[in-house]
Amino acid sequence: MSISHLLPFFFLLLAFSTFTSPSSSATDSFIFGGCSLLKFLPGTAYESNVNSVLTSLVNSAMFSNYNNSTVQGSTMQDTVYGLFQCRGDLANSDCSRCVSRAVNQLGTFCLDACGGALQLDGCFVKYDNATFLGVEDKTMVLKKCGPSMGLTYDSLTPRDAVLANLGALDGAFRIASSGDVQGIAQCVGDLSASECQDCLSDAIQRLRTECGGGAWGEMYLAKCYARYSERGRHSPGGNDDSNKNDEEIEKTLAILIGLIAGVGLIILFISFFSKVCGKQKGGK
């Protein structure tokens, strides 16, 4: 039972996220998530192993910005692998809070799912029963590009300088800035230095090509990400324009849920009176 390829259900996850309590900090902003289609039965050994892995990750986040955990099952199918990765500039307390929130959301978003992954602005959490630890994966998970600003070659220079610096720096977590443009890039901690460089080079090149002259851009691959923003236009993780989008999404979802609830009440109302009328006719 291999479920290494998680199927993203971004709309479903976003629908849940809009009804959670407001984030206490920008690090809690939802980026993306996905759950496997396969489910485990409650009360089984696999459920216990999932809980053990996620608990271990939460505990580890109090002391480091990356760790992985494996709980061996009696069979290969019951073995669970997990990891968490916090943004490199977060303090341990912020990392711990972010991972705890991500794990709590996974419990809701991926209820009884054999595998799940969740990316918040400040941290990433993943678990599965197919090993993914130490495996480079450059699958594009999410791309977000800001509106084109009609930038000239000269105005693109700071953006390109930031992306070039991100690609040239060492380490799993990188920050660069040039003029009014700032950028962040990071690999998941289970990659080697060469795998990290390969992943980030791909992410940065895609970001440069696919976001063109956008005022900001984000490129998330399965094991790394790169993003840049022009100060005052967009902050990575989603304030400014994305907040407006979130408000519109919340309004749309509220309307849809209201309509669904209304239709359900109408059906119940009609069903109730149909039964009442049926009884009255039967009694005559």
Domain 140-230 is in which class? Answer: alpha beta
Question: In the predicted model, what is the mean pLDDT of residues 57-86?
Answer: 94
pLDDT at 252 over 60: no
For residue range 101-140, list pLDDT tens digits in order: 999 999 999 999 999 999 999 999 999 999 999 999 999 9
pLDDT at 209 over 50: yes
pLDDT at 22 over 50: no
pLDDT band at 273 (very low <50, low <70, confident <90, very high): low
Query: Within 13 Å and on the Cβ side, how many CA atoms surround 22?
Result: 5
pLDDT at 218 over 90: yes
pLDDT band at 212 (very low <50, low <70, confident <90, very high): confident
Give 7-128's CATH code, choosing from 3.40.50.300, 3.30.430.20, 3.20.20.300, 3.40.50.720. 3.30.430.20
pLDDT at 35: 95
Q: Which two three-digit tokens encode residue 108?
A: 């809701």
Query: Within 13 Å and on the Cβ side, how many CA atoms surround 236?
Result: 21
Two domains, one topology: 7-128 and 140-230: yes
Provide the residue ranges of all domains of the chain, joining segments of one domain with +: 7-128, 140-230
Burial class (CB in 10 A: 0-12, 13-18, 19+), 61: buried
pLDDT band at 148 (very low <50, low <70, confident <90, very high): confident
pLDDT at 141: 95
Q: Alpha-carbon distance 66 to 127, whole Å?
A: 14
Torsion angle in degrees (nearest 10) through CA of 40, 43, 44, 45: 120
Q: What angle do CA 65, 31, 190 make, to 5 degrees?
A: 35
Q: Which of 142, 109, 104, 103 is nearest to 126 (CA)?
A: 103
Looking at per-residue confidence, does 284 or 170 come out higher?
Answer: 170
Host H or E run for residue 229: strand 224-230
pLDDT at 157: 83
